């Protein structure tokens, strides 16, 4: 008989409830954070990998970070070196998460590190996605999540993709908490995300919602007067 897990704070980095504390859960990674985590694994990191591989960009000054591969050179002598090392870092982080989960579940080892890098990335993502519930309750998930999220953040900073945000005053239409943040991406293209339930609104959707909310409040106030 499997004993029920204890209620503990969610181990996913940045998990916060309406009071700014990690949500309490018996599932190691809470349901809200699982949504964010799954997007990190199946959308954001793959996009990081594909973007870097397709463009081989040079990082912004000050954001190159430590090198992944051992070398006697103190700095990157060619723009492709940073991109190549970041591709290796993404592959390694995903492979490490896959390896830890396979060991926990008693599964056979995954692809050898000599396999093509892109193939290993795709294989790791598929494995973690198939065994998602097991991954989110594995002893290694906290360390894996922290490593993968930090890597994604490092890529975004280096590529200048960190978005300016502002806390919005209106409550989220989905969970009613005041946890909406606007991320500036250009006129008409801003995204408004809820940091509690992870639901997103486009700028036109938010404007329509805010207008409806204002009309509702003013209507109540007018009729009350």
Listed by start position, the domains of the chain span: 1-162, 164-225
Write down the pTM of the prediction.
Answer: 0.67
Pick the more confident residue, 157 or 39: 39
Check pLDDT > 50 for residue 68.
no
Residue 66 confidence (pLDDT): 46
Topology of domain 164-225, CATH: N-terminal domain of TfIIb (2.20.25)
Residue 72 confidence (pLDDT): 35
Report, as an integer, the average pLDDT of 163-184: 78
Say how far apart CA 155 and CA 79 lie, in whole Å.
Answer: 15
Check pLDDT > 50 for residue 24.
yes
Say how far apart CA 91 and CA 68 lie, in whole Å.
Answer: 11
Q: How many whole angstroms from its chain centre is CA 217?
A: 35
- Would you report the helix, strand and coil content of the chain in percent, each value rounded to 5? 50, 10, 45
Query: Which of 86-90, 127-131, 184-188 has the lowest average pLDDT?
Result: 184-188
Residue 44 confidence (pLDDT): 87
Tens digit of each residue's pLDDT (9 = 90 or more) over 137-161 = 999 999 999 999 999 888 877 776 5
Report, as an integer, the average pLDDT of 69-80: 47
What mean pLDDT, rounded, does the chain reach? 81
Portion of the chain with pLDDT greater than 70, in percent = 78
CB 10 within 8 A of CB 25: yes
Check pLDDT > 50 for residue 222.
no
Check pLDDT > 50 for residue 111.
yes
3-state secondary structure of 55: helix
Tens digit of each residue's pLDDT (9 = 90 or more) over 178-215 = 888 877 655 456 778 888 888 888 878 888 888 787 66
Residue 187 confidence (pLDDT): 46
């Amino acid at each position: 008989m499997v004993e029920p897990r204890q209620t503990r704070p969610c181990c996913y980095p940045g998990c916060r409830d309406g009071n700014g504390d990690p949500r309490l859960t018996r599932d190691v990674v809470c349901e809200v954070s699982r949504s964010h985590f799954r997007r990190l694994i199946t959308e954001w990191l793959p996009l990081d990998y594909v973007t870097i591989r397709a463009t081989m960009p040079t990082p912004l000054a000050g954001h190159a970070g430590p090198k992944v591969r051992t070398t006697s050179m103190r700095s990157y002598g060619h723009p492709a070196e940073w991109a190549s090392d970041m591709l290796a870092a993404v592959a390694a982080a995903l492979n490490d998460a896959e390896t830890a989960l396979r060991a926990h579940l008693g599964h056979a080892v995954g692809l050898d590190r000599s396999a093509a890098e892109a193939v290993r990335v795709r294989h790791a993502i598929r494995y973690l996605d198939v065994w998602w519930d097991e991954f989110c309750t594995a002893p290694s998930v906290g360390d894996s999540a922290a490593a993968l999220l930090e890597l994604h953040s490092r890529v975004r900073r280096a590529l200048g993709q960190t978005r300016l945000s502002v806390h919005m005053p209106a409550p989220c239409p989905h969970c009613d908490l005041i946890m909406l943040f606007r991320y500036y991406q250009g006129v008409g293209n801003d995204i408004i995300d809820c940091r509690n339930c992870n639901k997103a609104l486009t700028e036109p959707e938010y404007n329509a919602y805010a207008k409806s909310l204002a009309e509702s409040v003013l209507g109540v106030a007018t009729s009350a007067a």
